[in-house]
Amino acid sequence: MGQTFAEKLLARNAGRTSVEPGQVIDATPDLVLSHDNTAAIIRTWRQLGLPRVKHPERLAVVLDHAAPAPTTQHAQNHAEIRQFVAEQGIVHFFDVGRGICHQVLCEEGLIRPGMLVLGADSHSTHYGALGAFGAGIGRSEVAALWATGTLWLRVPESIKIVVSGTPSKWVSAKDVGLYIIGQLGAEAGNYASVELHGETIAQLSMESRFVLPNLMAEMGVKNAWLAPDQVTLEWLRAQTQDTSPELAERFFAGAIYPDPDAHYAAEYVFDVTSLEPQVACPHAVDNVVPISRVAGTRVHQAFLGTCTNARLEDLAVAAQILHGRRVHPGTRLLVIPASARVLRAAVQMGYLDTLLAAGAVIGPPGCGPCMGNHLGVPAPGEVTISTANRNFRGRMGTREADIYLASPAVVAASAVTGRIIHPAELE
């Protein structure tokens, strides 16, 4: 019988010819991610009494969650981390301002098809956009990986989602992702490997593709996978400025594709031809409605940022909408690019000039206020519309604030009117 992506990848990783769902294997990740939580992981790892981490070349550390440091205590954490990565010879270290971990590791060419990537961050599912197996784990598990290089993983059941149809002008990958989560629910992918298939997915730009496996974390998935193809390869080429034929050879040699006769625990088909822009309402990511149901809701803050939607094309659509317009009085528009590379490109393209002229506030590349640390947390009673992936109660720092999740186009348009609005109404 055929095998799914997850079955093939975990079998190869564990040096077996095949594995079955439910089986527990000792996996050896190719890359292990941690971010600001590295300070806590260092303290845990020190309890093990080892002088050196086992594979420093397989570790990546990015300072992004509270960066630049908002308090002395955050700064102290960062200082401990800098000292540790120097001591241990961890070369894949990206300091404050380089950007959000998931974006940075992809831009740096550290993620390739067929890799196993484990990260102390729930949105490590992100790496599936490049055909890798990305899964979130806990801090103690990262400490254990620093010590031993291996970790037990249960081979997941696989779920196949097929998306077809050409969406309308203002419907983006974010709307497709929110729609799927709204239809299937927050637990639909728990413990499972989700494969996203179909013409709609294949036609997405690489930047749009990153949105989907990232968002699938909100369905509980272990990992989410998209088929690596020429679009993926060209994006990697551009990011790494590697024009050699070997890049393509290594790319396709590493890539893993499911067999046509693989067995899936569930299969779902979605046609997005007539989909409206989607909005996730407070206080759950699966509380999703078409925008017409919440249009007119007053917003105090519009936030364009996070690992889900703060890439160049997201800033481009915001600039297109805000060109020649002003952010509504009484509403703040906060724009935090996903990385320094995105920020620089946005400057070169003139997007930042447009956004600033419209009255936007620009923040330094990083996670910003997504999890309530700094740089734009709402006041009690305020409403934020955000391009992030989570709207749980208290997420942005106060339990008395409402968070709506939407696409960059909807967030930008809502900033103009101070109310949730379909971008088509501004045309």
Partner 1 sequence: MRFSGKAWKYGDNVNTDVIFPGKYTYTLTELRDMAAHALEDLDPTFATGVRPGDIIVAGRNWGCGSSREQAVLCLKAAGVGAIIAVSFARIFYRNAINNGLPAIVCPAAVAAIEHGQPVEVDLAVAEIRCPAGVFSFPPFPPSVQRILAEGGLIPYLKRVLAAERL
Q: Interface with partner 1 by CB under 8 A: which residues?
A: 24, 36-37, 39-40, 43-44, 47-50, 65-66, 71, 73-74, 77, 120-122, 136-141, 143-144, 147-148, 152, 186-187, 190-191, 218, 220, 222, 284, 286, 371-373, 377, 390, 392-395, 397, 399
For the CB of residue 135, give the shortest distance to partner 1 in the complex, in Å.
9
Q: Which CB, 97 or 418, lies closer to partner 1?
A: 97
For the CB of residue 406, give the shortest distance to partner 1 in the complex, in Å.
19
Q: Which CB, 121 or 195, lies closer to partner 1?
A: 121
Burial of 336: CB neighbours in 10 Å, binned 0-12, 13-18, 19+: buried
Amino acid at 170: W
Burial of 120: CB neighbours in 10 Å, binned 0-12, 13-18, 19+: buried
Q: Which tokens hold the place of 26? A: 């000792």
Q: Which CB, 137 or 161, lies closer to partner 1?
A: 137
Q: Which tokens hold the place of 412? A: 């930008």
Q: Which CB, 190 or 203, lies closer to partner 1?
A: 190
Q: Which CB, 312 or 367, lies closer to partner 1?
A: 367
Amino acid at 146: W
For the CB of residue 255, give the shortest distance to partner 1 in the complex, in Å.
25
Could you give the CA distance from residue 155 to residue 178 in angstroms, rounded to a whole number? 26
Sole residue written with tokens 């779902």? 268
Q: Which CB, 298 or 393, lies closer to partner 1?
A: 393
For the CB of residue 210, give the shortest distance to partner 1 in the complex, in Å.
19
Q: Which CB, 24 or 379, lies closer to partner 1?
A: 24
CB-CB neighbours of 12 under 10 Å: 15
For the CB of residue 284, give the shortest distance to partner 1 in the complex, in Å.
6
DSSP conformational letter for 381: T
How many CA atoms lie within 13 Å of 239's alpha carbon, on the beta-carbon side?
A: 25
For the CB of residue 8, give the shortest distance to partner 1 in the complex, in Å.
20
For the CB of residue 346, give the shortest distance to partner 1 in the complex, in Å.
27
- Are 224 and 183 in contact, with CB atoms under 8 Å apart? no
Q: Which tokens hold the place of 149? A: 């290089």
Could you give the CA distance from residue 18 to residue 77 in angstroms, rounded to a whole number? 43
